[in-house]
Amino acid sequence: MMSLKLWYDRDGFDWTDALPLGNGRLGAMVFGGPRKEQIQLNEDTHWTGRPYSAANRGAAAHLPELRRMLFEGRWAEAERFADAHMMARPRFQCSYQPSGSVYIEGRHQPDPGSYRRELDLETAIATVDYVHHGIRYRREALSSPVDNVIAVRMWTEGGEGFDSDIFYAAELPGLPGIDGAAGEILWQGRNRGEYGVPGGLSLAARIKVEAEGGRVEAHDFGLRLSDVRAFTLWIDYGTSFRRHDDTGGDPLAETRDRIGRAAAKGWDRVRADHVDGHRRLFGRLSAEFGAARDDLPTDQRIARPDKTDDPGLAALYLQFGRYLMVSASRPGSQPANLQGIWNKEIQPPWGSKYTININTEMNYWLADPANLAECAEPLIRMVEDLAETGQEMAREHYGAAGWVAHHNTDLWRACGPIDGADPGLWPMGGIWLTNQLWDHCLYQGCPEALVARLRPVIEGAVRFALDFLAEHPQSGLLVTVPTNSPENIHPGGGNLSAGCAMDDQLLRDLFDALEGAGGDAALCARARTARARLAPDRIGAQGQLQEWHEDWDAGVREPDHRHVSHLYACYPSLQISPRETPELAQAVATSLAMRGDDATGWGIGWRICLWARLAEGERAWEVLNKQLLPDRTYRNLFDAHPPFQIDGNFGGAAGILEMLVSSRPGCAVLLPALPRAMAARGSVSGLRLRGGIEMDLSWAEGRVLRAAFRAGRDCALDVIIDGATRHLQLPAGTEVAVEGAGQGLVTA
């Protein structure tokens, strides 16, 4: 059976060598140093700033003039005008912050060949093991989703005594306190302000040491442990954040109480509860794709240029993506941001925010098919928050009802156009997030409670869209204006445009979601009328799917642009597919070939998903192989944008599942894009399909051996294997299997 461990024969030198732990709220990067261990911390509400409004009051008065410029094709002038009059105030958002580091100094030098560190994805425990002067040392670290603390334990195999120094350091000014008698380090501080938004959060870090044998005493700015047989560290970090408009929490009391409860339970029970809590989610899906070079350290597997003899690395990468999802996004936590919950920089790339013109949505493509539906809960809560804060933005910037969010948001749920008109003036981010939530609902089989919860969010997004759409004076079509096709510059001379393909595709899905959710009848009628007046997807002169209403694709400044926004209709949407719309699917393939596969990490992840949706298994494998090379994947399997962005991990993992099954409500195509490298033998169990269905699947030599389906409610499913359709009735709670079907599905 394939190992689900990342392992290495040397400690982590760079941050992207360190191994990630997380419980949704608390993240840690474990470097594994025997001389000096660093455990770098993050807490999901530690951001700059405080509650604020970014509305540019009166911006709506400038909207008619901006639209006139765009309808007249005065692209550059329109962009300058928008930049001066339509942007948010402030025009930048707050950023996610690191929460300091805990250091363990042992000053050990491992005996040659004795060192090993690993991350066990099944237990979510990072381990360091080595021999120093004939004594075997072991250290384990975890971030417990049950007790909501980080715990570290170190001991010697034979109970020999050893010394260690423990201390905490942060890049923010704060008040450190050391209590040697209690074995505790306490740090208090305040968060930073940024871009004119003052800081408003209280911060607290607390580390408690429990030693077996020996002595613990205050030393310099930390604690010195002398001649101990073992020790346990209880680590916590908290802020006063409660929600986007409330910072009245008490991190001193909260960290004290969490550590007190965990310490009272003790290491053994905390560890056992942690493993059970992790496996409750992570253990739902298993995957085997054939040969796996588990004998090689993980960094060596990544460094090998051809992964054909190691399809097991793809299975490990899939499970690592699921591990990151479980670790970064749990009920009660913040959603996964650009780096999940793992960030070392005071000024992180792109603020480590929520970029909602692709990246945040891509973060959640994996959750449902990978059987991690609960991990989407933080995203639902964030969109519900945006539906509140976005009402002011819709009113002040567009004179519209409903709610709007643009291409970024932060902890405080700011939702205005930021950075610049290029690329910030794109009022479709909230709509894409809403569509993502509706797809989550489809995966769950549209349970009544979830539909009722999402309905007001969908209705608010639709009300904005209907007020925002304008009739194009030349075509008579309804278009979004101003907008842009993220984040591409068109040959007309700018980024802003009057309508684009992606916006039309997003709106079609939004209006359909309103119908599916049983929205207000009058609103549904208005949406149906507007939907009929949107521009259809168009095939351009080169056979490509047009990105804009004009056939501009051939003259773009960056023909290999990282975004493939106009292909949203193919993936993640279900509007275009080889079976239902073959001509448009061919146009998608032409566009994708024109863009090329050498993109950023998340751009490659999207391309894997698209090629798989197009049933091009060999091309999808080729792009996945690019993803798994050292210039796109760091030694710890983090996606190398570069720098690190977690969306590439989630997108690539989602693409692997799309190779195995492509589903829509009532229909599933099995092994639509199985590449030759994975065809010899494989299986996956616990994979989720749209419609609230769970599936197990096994294959050999590219042929389906067995497919089993389980549904939570009575439903029907068309199963397509090698072009042949089997119609199944699935009674609730009963497994229905298809045996020995298929005629060989390896893509030529």
Identify whether 103 is part of a domain. Answer: yes
Element at 269 (helix H, strand E)? helix 267-282
Q: Please, are residues 230 and 152 in contact by the beta-carbon 8 Å criterion? A: no
pLDDT, tens only, 113-159: 999 999 999 999 999 999 999 999 999 999 999 999 999 999 999 99
Identify whether 598 is part of a domain. Answer: no
The residue count for the chain: 748
Cα(371)–Cα(710) distance, integer angstroms: 13
Instruction: Report how far Cα 386 is from the mean position of its chain's Cα atoms.
Output: 18
Residues 6+ apart with CB under 8 A from 27: 20, 21, 41, 42, 43, 44, 143, 327, 328, 340, 341, 342
Q: Report CA-CA distances (Å) from 523 to 383, 456, 503, 506.
A: 21, 12, 19, 17
CATH number at residue 278: 2.70.98.50
Cα dihedral angle (74, 78, 79, 82), rounded to 10 degrees? -170
Identify whether 312 is part of a domain. Answer: no
Domain boundary among 286, 319, 340: 286
Strands (DSSP E) along 15-65, which ranges? 19-22, 26-30, 36-43
Give pLDDT, residue 742: 44
Domain boundary among 254, 286, 318: 286
Q: What 3-state class would DSSP assign to 715?
A: strand
Q: What order of strands is seen across the sheet that includes strand 116-120?
A: 5-8, 116-120, 125-132, 135-143, 150-156, 230-239, 202-212, 184-190, 174-179
Residue type, 285: L
The parts of the chain modelled with pLDDT lower than 70 are 741-748
Instruction: Choose among 162, 93, 184, 111: nearest CA to 393.
Output: 93
Cα(425)–Cα(488) distance, integer angstroms: 12
Element at 363 (helix H, strand E)? helix 359-363
Cα(179)–Cα(165) distance, integer angstroms: 14
Q: What 3-state class would DSSP assign to 486?
A: coil
Q: Based on the structure, what is the number of domains in the chain?
A: 2
Residue type, 53: S
Residue type, 230: A
Rg (C-alpha) for the chain, rounded Å, is 26
Phi/psi of residue 21, each to 5°? -120, 150
Tokens of 125: 């425990």
Residue 696 lies in domain: 676-739
Cα(71)–Cα(482) distance, integer angstroms: 10
Identify whether 702 is part of a domain. Answer: yes
419: left (phi over 0), alpha (psi -120 to 50) or beta: left
Give pLDDT, residue 555: 86
- Hunting for tokens 């423990």 — which residue is that? 166
Q: What 3-state class would DSSP assign to 192?
A: coil
Cα(297)–Cα(300) distance, integer angstroms: 5
Tokens of 708: 């089993």
Identify whether 186 is part of a domain. Answer: yes
Give pLDDT, residue 746: 34
Instruction: Choose among 57, 43, 97, 51: nearest CA to 413.
Output: 51
Phi/psi of residue 667, each to 5°? -150, 140
CATH number at residue 681: 2.60.40.1180
pLDDT, tens only, 535-579: 999 999 999 999 999 999 988 888 899 999 999 999 999 999 999
Domain boundary among 234, 255, 286: 286
Instruction: Choose among 344, 331, 324: nearest CA to 637.
Output: 324
Q: Please, are residues 467 and 401 in contact by the beta-carbon 8 Å criterion? A: yes
Q: Using the 8-state DSSP alphabet, how is residue 692 labeled? A: T
Number of Cβ within a 10 Å radius of residue 305: 8
Identify whether 351 is part of a domain. Answer: no
CA within 13 Å, CB half, 147: 30
Alpha helices in 615-666 (DSSP H): 617-627, 647-660
Q: Report CA-CA distances (Å) from 346 to 24, 42, 100, 194.
A: 20, 11, 10, 11
The predicted model scores a pTM of: 0.97
Q: What order of strands is seen across the sheet that includes strand 286-288?
A: 286-288, 681-689, 693-700, 703-711, 736-739
Q: Report CA-CA distances (Å) from 103 to 106, 224, 227.
A: 10, 12, 18
Q: What 3-state class would DSSP assign to 473?
A: coil
Q: Please, are residues 608 and 656 in contact by the beta-carbon 8 Å criterion? A: yes
Cα(489)–Cα(495) distance, integer angstroms: 4
Q: Using the 8-state DSSP alphabet, how is residue 551 labeled? A: -
Identify whether 681 is part of a domain. Answer: yes
Give pLDDT, residue 747: 30
